[in-house]
Chain A
Amino acid sequence: MATLDINRVRKSYGSMEVLKEVNISIEDGEFLVLLGPSGCGKSTLLNIIAGLEDITGGDVLIGNRVVNDLPPKDRDIAMVFQSYALYPTMTVRQNIEFGMKIRGISAEERAKATKAAAEMLQMTGLLDRKPSQLSGGQRQRVAMGRAIVRHPELFLFDEPLSNLDAKLRVDMRTEIKRLHQRLGATIVYVTHDQIEAMTLATKVAVMKDGIVQHFGTPQEVYDRPANTYVARFVGSPAMNILRGRLVASDGPVTVAFETSDGEALVSGVPLSPESAARFRDREVLVGIRPEHFTMDTAGAVPLTVDMVEPTGPDTLVVFSAGGADVVARLDPLAISVGTKARFGVKAEKIVLFDPETETRLD
């Protein structure tokens, strides 16, 4: 098992810059998720870590060793691809044993390792089938088995669940998490699904246009997103971001924003004295997660209910503020469209952003 350091890594295809100075460091045994929309450079970064793409600038270190010029096979890694990339003409057993064969491991050892992996992934009965005779979930298992028998320092996963149906995806997600705990392996995992990222990761790197927007634990990324992009990308429904104002006062930090029914004044928002001074009486962006609204007849936020969406465990209430829709997630409640009400806000959870740079204010 190993640490992974990505130092100022850049990648260009011709004149097109796909990665611009990526910096990420993880400890031994961590589960790093690269999260971002399609085309942001996740797979490119993963391929660079694997050695399948040349690096344009910067260094990749696996276990404190610079691997920039090492071919993939010497990096002590295993990779699971989005399409699984099983060798179509080989049986499952041959697929799993192919790498070991090349590394000159004896037939006996190979059989033992294959058996152990097959048992771990519950696919003992599939060993003599061809990939074309397997379901999507089974192929996924085989791809994992092929990676496991390698006992690598570092596992790389490129959207391994994106071809599965919703139910199987959740099952395999649990499976991968269990695998991580059992093997104690260091894992880099690419996805554009923020739920996968939140449930699996010990560290998340949210990427956009080849730049890491936020690197931190899932909870940090969720609670204190580095900018409005991260705030909107992580969490569902997304964080509400409203135009508001920092009220001039010498007491607790207070923000004001307009709703369709008047002004909301919320005080007790966490903010450093420097930022509070800098933005005193100026416009800010107010970020509120849907679940941080509360049902409170004496609350700070006056509103008219525009829409009600019961989801089962809770109810989403949509109202309008400053011309935008705001979503509140509340315990199941009976409330009808058109009702005038007041909601409270957990002020200590509010995040403020600079309206120009859209980065978070400390």
Chain B
Amino acid sequence: MATKSLARQRAMGQTFIYGVLALLALYYLTPLWVMITTSLKPLDEIYGGSFIGLPQTVTFEAWSKAWSGACIGTECTGLKPYFINSILMVVPAVLLSTGLGALNGYVLTKWRFRGANLVFGMMLFGCFLPYQAVILPMAQVLGKLGLSGTIPGLILVHTLYGICFTSLFFRNYFITIPDELTKAAQIDGAGFFRIFFSIMLPAALPIIVVSCIWQFTQVWNDFLFGVSFTSGSDSPITVALNNIVNVTTGRKQYNVDMASAMIAAIPTLLVYVTAGRYFVRGLTAGAVKG
């Protein structure tokens, strides 16, 4: 009898936990639901009926308009060119910041020099610098370099800002890799870069993925740097999205707004869905390896 009631208690406990989880999931998914359904409704249906319900007629018109027809200021090009801008910005920024972070982490752990800890401390400090604090000096630097208002300028900004984080990731990962490994490689005759490319990087796959996901989301979703350092046709997608949603004349086109927001969010979603497994694994890798 005792075991029976225990089993029942456990079953009840589980039901409760799953119930709460389901509720929370619902809560988080509701906005997504609203976004998707709204983006598939014709404008009249939105103004005529409820926000939450299923669309009565499904149409992809809003999506195609958001992609290639919506007006941003006076240009009616849709999000497409800005989406491409963002891709052109995010790919080099992610690769550069991850690569440099890996190199930093490698030097900070395996080729320790006098003052290495101080340098690392200063890099950590960079992680806590608010965006707003660097905007003005950064604008001046970009101006001096002749990169004001350009995509390469944005790449530079994001790479610099990202290095603090990626260096931290790689430093904390590489410190769990025994120094004897680099010593063995030195005796085998490998030099600085040979050890980096043949031994450290292959062993760092999980943290490379973490760094790429982190940087991708940061750079792709960034609005402040984008709006501060670019304008017009050089803007990244977040800035364009803001312009579409804010600047409309006449009836507010909720379906186009929702579709635009979805388009802007899809790349980060995709990255998480495909590489999310590695993200969790990479974040816990140091702990398990010991």
> Is B one of A's binding partners?
yes
Interface contact B188-A73, CB-CB below 8 Å: yes
Given known A-B contacts A87-B199, A88-B203, A89-B202, A99 and B180 have beta carbons under 8 A apart: no
Looking at the complex, which one of A79, A82, A87, A88 makes contact with B187 (CB distance below 8 Å)? Answer: A79
B189 at interface, CB cutoff 8 A: yes
CB distance from B249 to the nearest CB of A (A): 58
Q: Which residues does chain B contribute within 8 Å of A77, judged by CB atoms?
A: 187
- The digit string for B166-199, where 1 denotes a CB below 8 A from any CB of A, is 0000000000001011011111111000100011
Which of under 10, 10 to 19, 20 to 34, or 35 or more describes the interface residues of B? Answer: 10 to 19
Assembly CA distance A88 to B181 (angstroms): 9
Identify the B interface with A (CB < 8 A): 178, 180-181, 183-190, 194, 198-199, 202-203
- Residue of B178, B185, B187, B203 contacting most chain A CB atoms (<10 Å): B187
Q: Which residues does chain B contribute within 8 Å of A102, judged by CB atoms?
A: 188-190, 194
Interface contact A87-B189, CB-CB below 8 Å: no
**Pair count A-B, CB < 8 A:** 56
Interface contact A85-B188, CB-CB below 8 Å: no
Looking at the complex, which one of B180, B185, B203 makes contact with A83 (CB distance below 8 Å)? Answer: B180
Given known A-B contacts A83-B178, A85-B180, A87-B181, A78 and B187 have beta carbons under 8 A apart: yes
Q: Which residues does chain A contribute within 8 Å of B186, judged by CB atoms?
A: 52, 71-73
- In the complex formed, the residue of B with least CB distance to A77 is B187
Looking at the complex, which one of B178, B187, B199 makes contact with A73 (CB distance below 8 Å)? Answer: B187
Interface contact B188-A81, CB-CB below 8 Å: no
- In the complex formed, the residue of A with least CB distance to B186 is A72
A103 at interface, CB cutoff 8 A: yes
Interface contact B189-A103, CB-CB below 8 Å: yes
A328 at interface, CB cutoff 8 A: no
Assembly CA distance A81 to B185 (angstroms): 12
- In the complex formed, the residue of A with least CB distance to B184 is A85
Assembly CA distance A51 to B178 (angstroms): 18
Assembly CA distance A146 to B189 (angstroms): 13
CB distance from B149 to the nearest CB of A (A): 43
Which 6 interchain pairs have the tightest Cβ spacing? A99-B188, A73-B189, A89-B202, A85-B180, A85-B184, A102-B189
CB distance from A15 to the nearest CB of B (A): 15
A50 at interface, CB cutoff 8 A: yes
Q: Which residues does chain A contribute within 8 Å of B181, judged by CB atoms?
A: 85, 87-88
Given known A-B contacts A88-B203, A89-B202, A89-B203, A81 and B184 have beta carbons under 8 A apart: yes
Interface contact A50-B203, CB-CB below 8 Å: no
A229 at interface, CB cutoff 8 A: no
Q: Which residues does chain A contribute within 8 Å of B188, judged by CB atoms?
A: 73, 98-99, 102, 146
CB distance from B207 to the nearest CB of A (A): 13
- In the complex formed, the residue of A with least CB distance to B177 is A88
Interface contact A81-B180, CB-CB below 8 Å: yes
Query: Given A83-B180, A85-B183, list of 17 further CB < 8 A pairs?
Result: A47-B183, A50-B187, A72-B183, A72-B186, A78-B187, A79-B187, A81-B184, A82-B180, A85-B178, A87-B184, A87-B198, A89-B203, A90-B202, A102-B188, A102-B189, A103-B189, A146-B184
- In the complex formed, the residue of B with least CB distance to A88 is B203
- The digit string for A325-337, where 1 denotes a CB below 8 A from any CB of B, is 0000000000000
CB distance from A67 to the nearest CB of B (A): 13
Q: Which residues does chain A contribute within 8 Å of B184, judged by CB atoms?
A: 79, 81, 85, 87, 146
CB distance from B111 to the nearest CB of A (A): 12
